[in-house]
Amino acid sequence: MRTRFISTTSNFFFALAIVLSFSAPVLVNAKPHGVDDLDCDISPATLLALQQAAVTELSTLSDNLGCVQKDAIGYPVNQDTNLEGFYRWYIDSGMYRYAINNVGNPLKPAPFALNTLTQEKQVVAYFSKLYGFDPDSSFGFVTSGGTDGNLHGVYYGLKYLQSLDPKEKPIVYVSDEAHYSVKKLADVTGSELRLIKSLPNGQMDLEDFKQQLSSTNPALIVSAIGTTFKGAIDDQEKIHEIVAAAKVPGAYYHLDAALFGGFLPFLKDEKARTIVDHSKMKFDSISVSGHKFFGLDEPAGLFVTTSEVMNHLNPESIPYLNGAVPTISCSRNGLTALKLWWKIKTTPKVAFQKQAEEIVANAKYLQGELQKMGIKSWMNPQSNTVFFERPASSIMKNYNLAADESNLYGPLAHIVVMQHVTRPVLDNFLARLATTITSSKK
Q: Which amino acid is it at 13?
A: F
Residue 364 is assigned to a structural domain of this protein = yes
Q: Count Cβ atoms within 10 A of the Cβ of residue 175 and give its class: 0-12 exposed, 13-18 middle, 19 or more buried.
A: buried
CA angle, corner 151, sides to 146 and 152, nearest 5?
100
What Rg value do the Cα atoms of the chain yield, rounded?
24
List the one residue out of 438, 442, 441, 437 whose CA is nearest residue 390.
437
Residue 74 is assigned to a structural domain of this protein = no
Are 49 and 146 members of one domain? Answer: no
Contact between 390 and 377 under an 8 Å Cβ cutoff? The reply is no
List the one residue out of 135, 219, 137, 225 whose CA is nearest residue 178.
225
List the one residue out of 218, 230, 239, 262 whose CA is nearest residue 77.
262
Are 398 and 322 members of one domain? Answer: no
What is the predicted pLDDT for the residue at 440? 65
Q: How far is CA 394 from CA 64, 98, 220, 389, 433, in A?
A: 19, 45, 42, 14, 10
Give the whole-angstrom CA distance, residue 379 versus residue 368.
Answer: 10
The domain boundary residue, chosen from 303, 329, 346: 346
Q: What are phi and psi of 86, to 5 degrees?
A: -65, -50
Residue 110 is assigned to a structural domain of this protein = no
What is the predicted pLDDT for the residue at 316? 81
Are 300 and 380 members of one domain? Answer: no
CA angle, corner 214, sides to 209 and 216, nearest 5?
160
What is the predicted pLDDT for the residue at 6? 40
CATH number of the domain where residue 394 is located: 3.90.1150.10
Are 307 and 367 members of one domain? Answer: no
Are 356 and 312 members of one domain? Answer: no
What is the predicted pLDDT for the residue at 34? 52
Q: What is the pLDDT along the chain (442 residues), one digit of tens a residue?
A: 444 444 444 454 444 444 444 444 444 444 555 555 556 678 999 999 999 999 999 999 999 999 999 899 999 999 999 999 999 999 999 999 999 999 998 888 889 999 999 999 999 999 999 999 999 999 999 999 999 999 999 999 999 999 998 999 999 999 999 999 999 999 999 999 999 999 999 999 999 999 999 999 999 999 999 999 999 999 999 999 999 999 999 999 999 999 999 999 999 999 999 999 999 999 999 999 999 999 999 999 999 999 999 999 977 889 999 888 899 999 999 999 999 999 999 999 999 999 999 999 999 999 999 999 999 999 999 999 999 999 999 999 999 999 999 999 999 999 999 999 999 999 999 999 999 987 666 5
Give the whole-angstrom CA distance, residue 216 versus residue 381.
Answer: 35
3 state SS of 147: helix
Distance in angstroms between the alpha carbons of the first and the last residue of the chain: 37
Give the whole-angstrom CA distance, residue 383 versus residue 264.
Answer: 9
Can you list the alpha helix ranges (DSSP code H) found in 312-416? 334-346, 349-372, 393-398
Give the whole-angstrom CA distance, residue 119 versus residue 208.
Answer: 44
Look at phi and psi of residue 126 and say left if phi exceeds 0, alpha if psi is from -120 to 50, else beta: alpha
Range of the domain at 323: 117-346
Contact between 276 and 261 under an 8 Å Cβ cutoff? The reply is yes
DSSP 324: E
For 194-222, b/e burial (b = at least 16 CB within 10 A) is bbbebbebbbbbbebbbeebbeebbbbbb
Are 391 and 329 members of one domain? Answer: no
Residue 171 is assigned to a structural domain of this protein = yes
Number of domains in the chain: 3
Are 270 and 235 members of one domain? Answer: yes
pTM over 0.85: yes
What is the predicted pLDDT for the residue at 126? 98
Give the whole-angstrom CA distance, residue 151 versus residue 148.
Answer: 5
| 9-46 confidence digits (pLDDT tens) | 445 444 444 444 444 444 444 455 555 555 667 899 99
Alpha carbon dihedral 229, 187, 151, 319, in 10-degree steps, equals -170
The domain boundary residue, chosen from 346, 378, 408: 346
Any bridge partners for residue 405, and if so which? Answer: 411
Are 218 and 122 members of one domain? Answer: yes
| 126-155 confidence digits (pLDDT tens) | 999 999 999 999 999 999 999 999 999 999
Residue 213 is assigned to a structural domain of this protein = yes
Give the whole-angstrom CA distance, residue 150 versus residue 303.
Answer: 8
Are 297 and 398 members of one domain? Answer: no
Give the whole-angstrom CA distance, residue 175 versus residue 325.
Answer: 31
**Helix crossing, 146-164 with 181-188: angle to 10°?**
40
What is the predicted pLDDT for the residue at 20? 42
What is the predicted pLDDT for the residue at 200? 97
CATH number of the domain where residue 186 is located: 3.40.640.10
Cα of 175 vs its chain's centroid, Å: 19
Residue 242 is assigned to a structural domain of this protein = yes
Give the whole-angstrom CA distance, residue 424 versus residue 88.
Answer: 30
Are 339 and 392 members of one domain? Answer: no
